[in-house]
Structure 1
Amino acid sequence: MQLTIRHETRYTYSLPLAYTIQQLHLTPRIEPQQHVLSWQLSAPGHLHAYTDAYGNLSHMMTMETPHQTLSIVATGVVETTAPERGRVPSGDTQSPLIFTVPTRLTAATPGIQELAASCLPDGQAMTRDLMSLAEHIFGAVRYQSGATAVSTTASDALALGQGVCQDHAHLFLACCHAHGIPARYVSGYIDPGNTGHAASHAWVDAWADDKGYAGWVSIDVTHARLMSDAYCRLAIGRDYDGAAPVRGVRRGGGTESLSVDVQIVPQ
């Protein structure tokens, strides 16, 4: 499948800013199941390209002249293929055990430990166990746009009983980490079809120990299904904070207004 993608992030401020710095994960990862046919990143100020510790193609954007608006646009075409049974080949040099460490957003509480125990064995899990967990989360936390924020923790989303894709991903990670199973956050895009969900998406990779296979399996917790060719992967990390498409700080600016427009056209 070919996905034509346009992603615009626009900030507007009530007062001029003196300085902005943004970490951008807006370039698709180099992976066997996706091939970038064309890609362009447009942003003001200075862009410094680098590859981060997780192999994400990243940029650091800095703007040191006064400004009151800021627009970042990523556009391109990515050719994707569906990984067999959701299995994502790993070219990582890092141990998967680095993705067993809880973060502020994925810390396990008694409620999370109870949910994890209902689906997962200790130490390792088969794909069917991981899918069972995704289905339980899908039932426990109803998709509701605007119900949570990027700072919402997994335990808060579980208590609330509603959230969005990043909350589903964080809750899945928290459950896996509670049982010592490697799992990592994935940010990217999805052809939403007729689901009504946002085209900017988040899901997970979890370490599966199946017969004849031990490695990453990519799972869309929000839809309780394996990753297909409808997905484009931007970045991986321990949680949203490490893999967010756009994340930064500013000096000045007063009140901030943010608008995000993502368009995905499949061919």
Structure 2
Amino acid sequence: MLLTIRHETVYRYTEPLTYTIQQLRLSPRAEPQQRTLDWRITSSGVHHPFNDAFGNLCHMLTITGQHNEVRIVAEGSVVVAPLHLGRLSQAGEFLPLVFTVPTQLTQPSPAIIDFAHRHLIRAANSDNLLALATAICDAVAYQSGATLVTTSADDALRLGQGVCQDHAHLFLACCHALGIPARYVSGYIDPGNSDHAESHAWVDVWIVQPDFSGWISVDVTHARFASDVYCRLAIGRDYDSAAPVRGVRRGGGSETLSVRVNVTATASDQ
């Protein structure tokens, strides 16, 4: 599948800033199932590329001098190959156990541990993981604006509402409660006819089955395996370690954020 993507992020401020620094994870990962045909990130300031601890291609954006707006546009095209049952062919650089460490956003609470034991009662396999995803969607209804990027898995479970990152965090917390390696994925999706955003979050889970051992990619929000309409930007332990844009500023007063993402999928013979 050929995915044509445009992602615009605009920060506007009521007072001038004198300095902005942003860490950008806005470049598709180099992985066997996806190939970047062209990609560019445009903004004011200076970009310095680097690879973070999880092998994600990042850029450090710095803007000096007075400015009232920060506009970042990432756009390009990526060819993604079909995935059989969400299976990834690359194991990666790290031992899977690296992704059994809970974070502040994915710490299993007693309620999550109970939820995990009720909905993932056997060893991790493809069917069980989709069943867990379905249970999470039933317990945490998709509701845009219901939570913040600082909302933990336990908070989302108690609230009963959230978005894709909350579904991913709760899924990770359930896996960690049972010692199953799982990692957070940020990226883009062609949402089709759904009302979900093109900017998306899902999970990779390490499974050991008679016919396959490795990572499988699960879209918790849609309770399905990731496929060739998913473009992967970054992996990490949670949103904080895979966020598309994070940073700090000096000055600016009040901030207003506007994000527009458009993903178009077309059949590809490349």
Taking structure 1 as the reference length, the TM-score comes to: 0.97
Matched with 1:73 is: 73
Matched with 2:24 is: 24
Percent identical among aligned pairs is 60
Relative distance call for 1:237 and 1:148 in structure 2 (3 A) is same
2:190 equivalent to 1:197: no
RMSD of aligned alpha carbons: 1.0
Instruction: Give yes or no for contact 2:190–2:264 (8 Å, CA) kept in 1.
Output: yes
Matched with 1:240 is: 239
Shift of 1:196: 0.6
Instruction: Give yes or no for contact 1:108–1:155 (8 Å, CA) kept in 2.
Output: yes
Within 1, Cα distance between the matches of 2:5 and 2:34? 13
Within 2, Cα distance between the matches of 1:129 and 1:44? 47
Task: Please give the secondary structure, in 2, of the residue aligned with 1:107.
Answer: coil
Matched with 2:64 is: 64
CA deviation string 1:201-257 (max 9, x = no partner): 000001112212111010000000000111000000000000011111111111000
Instruction: Give yes or no for contact 1:102–1:177 (8 Å, CA) kept in 2.
Output: yes
CA deviation string 1:143-195 (max 9, x = no partner): 00000010100000000001000000000000001111000000000001110
Query: When the two structures are aligned, how many residues end up with a matched partner?
Result: 266
Matched with 1:265 is: 264
Taking structure 2 as the reference length, the TM-score comes to: 0.96
Amino acid at match of 1:49: P
Instruction: Give yes or no for contact 2:91–2:214 (8 Å, CA) kept in 1.
Output: no
Instruction: Give yes or no for contact 1:121–1:179 (8 Å, CA) kept in 2.
Output: no
The within-5 A match list for 1:17-166 is 17-121=17-121, 124-166=123-165
Instruction: Give yes or no for contact 2:32–2:90 (8 Å, CA) kept in 1.
Output: no
Within 1, Cα distance between the matches of 2:53 and 2:90? 15
Instruction: Give yes or no for contact 1:127–1:210 (8 Å, CA) kept in 2.
Output: no
Amino acid at match of 2:78: V
Amino acid at match of 1:162: Q
Amino acid at match of 2:34: Q
Within 1, Cα distance between the matches of 2:98 and 2:180? 10
Within 2, Cα distance between the matches of 1:24 and 1:160? 30
Unaligned ranges ≥5, structure 1: none
Within 1, Cα distance between the matches of 2:115 and 2:128? 12
